[in-house]
A = this chain, B = another copy of it.
Amino acid sequence: MSQPQNAISPRRDEDFPEWYQQVVKAADLAENSDVRGCMVIKPWGYGIWEAMQRGLDGLFKATGHKNAYFPLFIPLSYMAKEAEHVEGFAKECAVVTHHRLKSDGKGGLMPDPESQLTEPLIVRPTSETIIGATYAKWVQSYRDLPILINQWANVVRWEMRPRVFLRTAEFLWQEGHTAHETSAEAIGETEQMLGVYEKFAREWLALPVFTGEKSAGERFPGAVNTLCIEAMVQDRKAIQAGTSHFLGQNFAKASGIQFVSRENKQEHAWTTSWGVSTRLIGTVIMAHGDDDGVILPPRVAPSQIVIVPVAPKPDTRDAVFAACEALAEKLRAQSYGGEAIRVELDKRDLGGGQKSWEWIKRGVPVRVEIGPRDLEKGTLAVARRDRGHKEKSFPTSEEFIAGIAATLQEIHDALLARATALRDAHTVKLETKEDFIAFFTPKNKDKAEIHGGFALAHWDESAETETEIKEALKVTIRCIPFDSQVEDGQCVWSGRPSRRRVLFAKSY
């Protein structure tokens, strides 16, 4: 049987990385800028980010956090304060060395040598050091704790091989930074925020995720412990979709965050940090998209419903447009997930087919077409993006409006079920090195063949084994899952004794 034609070429099974690039382009989400590694997030892509921000911000505030804003620049000397941190972040970052330009005498500009900074500034790759220096001023007594603050910001990490949303030199994110009186409280915060991320992934992004802690080798530089959520996307690779770090007293010591305790002793605070970024947009695309483009979970869709008037003839156009406007109004008065439903009415002077395909590629959850014959029959033509694009239902306007919140929830549930089925189908327990190697090796090495998945296997807890596996197969320990039971076993690689399974995968 011949494959039906799809909007995106190549298909996922032909070349997944190229499919991703084409989907980003076809859905008008983002593009590379002339500035190496920096992306332009276009309105449709930014609309997804805005919806994610609203959702996350609500969850942060519900758990007692407030937003604030800290400087973009970090003095060079701050980066050197925490030994592991500097190793991890000082390597590739944007360095500001001058504060003025002058004419170069050839019609161009050059940094004015006289404006050279005494101390260069780093464009923040993450803000532990600059925020730590600030908290050190704010905290004197245990009464000043906890500090529960989040920041929405841009950060820069120079990237040699950028890929839109997944790995870019500049990206947008949120970074929570908290300081606590006790270790237990800080650990509790770290776990709570990972729980927030897990909930957000499931309830907003329709993504099932593994939760767990990172191996020492994969920890945030300077952290005592890094917790993470790991999602599987359709090429069966893992994406680290969010992290929550327990920083112990490492950064408090480096920055001097000290307080007089209840026992009247001088102590260092216990801090955490946690973040998710615009990488989540790439995750959603790769987790849910199909060969026709993006499929957006309703809660993060900039428009949840698009209404396309199909009125080629002038004599019926006004009536069709009026019906569309009326429907849009009524839909906007409905709510889903605690927000008014977002409806787009596409009145552009283009063919109905062209318009519908644009919205399919962009991933709008529900499309409604209204033409003169629909008006006569008193029905609508409704298509759900999670189903085949030829599959339509024809409810009356009243039926459609009454059921819209339920329909959006059904779409969400269907996406979550599909993503869960994919993940479960490709999460396996492996016992032998042979099976492990076979699992992570494409059968046909010439093709960008989708293979592997998540392997739950025993590990001897040595950095040596971890490195060997990474070098041999590009497979890393994604996390030590919270629900991993203690059981006797043998390391899948070294054969040495192991007490529990960890999650291995190739990853973005």
Residues of A within 8 A of B (CB): 31, 33-35, 38-43, 45-47, 49-50, 66-80, 86, 90-101, 107-111, 115, 120-123, 130, 133-134, 137, 149, 153-154, 156, 158, 170, 172
Contact = CB atoms under 8 A, between A and B. Distances in A.
Contacts of A42: 68
A66 B92 contact: no
A47 B153 CA distance: 15
B99 A92 contact: yes
A158 to B, nearest CB: 4
Nearest to A137: B31
A96 B99 contact: no
Contacts of A66: 43, 46-47
B86 A95 contact: no
A273 B414 CA distance: 43
B50 A121 contact: no
Given A43-B67, A67-B47, A92-B99, A79 B109 contact: yes
Given A47-B66, A69-B172, A96 B109 contact: no
A72 B34 contact: no
A75 B108 CA distance: 12
A46 B60 CA distance: 15
Given A98-B97, A130-B33, A72 B121 contact: no
Contacts of A172: 69
10 nearest interchain CB pairs? Answer: A38-B71, A43-B66, A41-B69, A95-B98, A90-B101, A99-B158, A35-B71, A95-B111, A94-B96, A97-B97
Contact of A69 (B40, B111, B158): B40
Given A130-B33, A130-B35, A111 B120 contact: yes
A39 B71 CA distance: 6
A302 to B, nearest CB: 8
A76 B80 CA distance: 29
6 contacts: A33-B70, A41-B68, A80-B109, A94-B96, A95-B100, A98-B120
Q: How many copies does the complex hold?
A: 2
B101 A156 contact: no
B134 A40 contact: yes
A349 to B, nearest CB: 9
Contacts of A170: 71-73
Given A76-B109, A79-B101, A67 B50 contact: yes
Given A35-B74, A79-B109, 15 more contacts: A35-B75, A40-B69, A40-B70, A43-B66, A45-B68, A71-B170, A76-B101, A77-B109, A79-B101, A80-B109, A86-B109, A93-B99, A93-B101, A94-B96, A96-B123
A73 B35 contact: yes
Contacts of A101: 76, 79, 90-91, 93, 95, 122
Contacts of A72: 38, 123, 154, 156, 170
A33 B67 CA distance: 17
Nearest to A149: B43
A98 B79 CA distance: 16
A121 B35 contact: yes
A93 B97 contact: no
A75 B137 CA distance: 37
Contact of A97 (B71, B92, B111): B111
A33 B137 CA distance: 10
Nearest to A71: B38
A170 B45 CA distance: 26
A479 to B, nearest CB: 30
Contacts of A94: 73, 96, 98-99, 121
A72 B69 CA distance: 17
A106 to B, nearest CB: 10
Contacts of A77: 108-109
Contacts of A95: 96-101, 111, 115
B158 A100 contact: yes
A347 to B, nearest CB: 12
A29 B45 CA distance: 32
B33 A134 contact: yes
Nearest to A151: B46
Contacts of A79: 101, 109
Contacts of A71: 33, 35, 38-40, 170
Nearest to A302: B66
Most buried by B among A31, A50, A99, A130: A99
A70 B41 CA distance: 6
Given A86-B109, A170-B73, A68 B43 contact: yes
A46 B70 contact: no
A419 to B, nearest CB: 27
A27 to B, nearest CB: 14
